[in-house]
Amino acid sequence: MLVHWVSPSERAIKLNVDGSSRENLRRAGCGNLLRDQDANCITGFVSHIGFAGSVIAVELVVIRHGLGLVWQFGYRKVECESDCMVLLEIIHDNAKDFSEIADIVK
């Protein structure tokens, strides 16, 4: 499978996020990148966030942080990409069972 970056729609910003959790070692890290339609990097970050539980919780933390950056830079139209399919399904389907990530969602 060939994977490549796809630019956001007109007047949107692309937020790419990724998180990683080693639950058995109680370590987690994350990062994100904001790019415009021409793939120009606007900003990004990478961080050790300590223990955040599951990778779903880590991905949600990085999405929340990235959306804060988007807002800080004045963008109001954002397309977010994550490789955490479970979290994307929760967000897309507006799932009610947020037990694992309820504190982050608030």
Nearest to 55 by CA among 95, 94, 23: 23
pLDDT in tens, 13-22: 999 988 877 7
How buried is 82 (Cβ within 10 angstroms: 0-12 exposed, 13-18 middle, 19+ buried)? buried
Locate the domains of the chain by residue range. 13-105
Whether the predicted pLDDT of 31 surpasses 70? yes
pTM: 0.75
How buried is 38 (Cβ within 10 angstroms: 0-12 exposed, 13-18 middle, 19+ buried)? exposed
pLDDT in tens, 47-82: 877 766 677 777 888 888 888 889 999 999 999 888
d(CA 29, CA 64): 14
Architecture of the domain defined by 13-105: 2-Layer Sandwich (3.30)
Ramachandran category for residue 39: left, alpha or beta (phi over 0 → left; psi -120 to 50 → alpha)? left
